[in-house]
Amino acid sequence: EAQVTQNPRYLITVTGKKLTVTCSQNMNHEYMSWYRQDPGLGLRQIYYSMNVEVTDKGDVPEGYKVSRKEKRNFPLILESPSPNQTSLYFCASSSVQGGVTEAFFGQGTRLTVV
Partner 1 sequence: KQEVTQIPAALSVPEGENLVLNCSFTDSAIYNLQWFRQDPGKGLTSLLLIQSSQREQTSGRLNASLDKSSGRSTLYIAASQPGDSATYLCAVTSDTGNQFYFGTGTSLTVIP
Report how many residues bind partner 1 under the rule CB under 8 A.
27
Closer to partner 1 by CB, 17 or 57: give it. Answer: 57
**Where are the alpha helices (H) located in 43-108, listed in sequence order?**
none
Restricted to residues 73-102, the positions that interact with partner 1 (CB under 8 A) are: 90, 92, 96, 99-102
The 3-state DSSP class for residue 83 equals helix
**Considering only CA atoms, which of 91, 90, 54, 88 is closest in space to residue 71?**
54
Residue 61 interacts with partner 1 (CB under 8 A)?
no
The contact set with partner 1 (CB under 8 A) reads 31, 33, 35, 40-45, 48, 50, 56, 58, 90, 92, 96, 99-108, 110
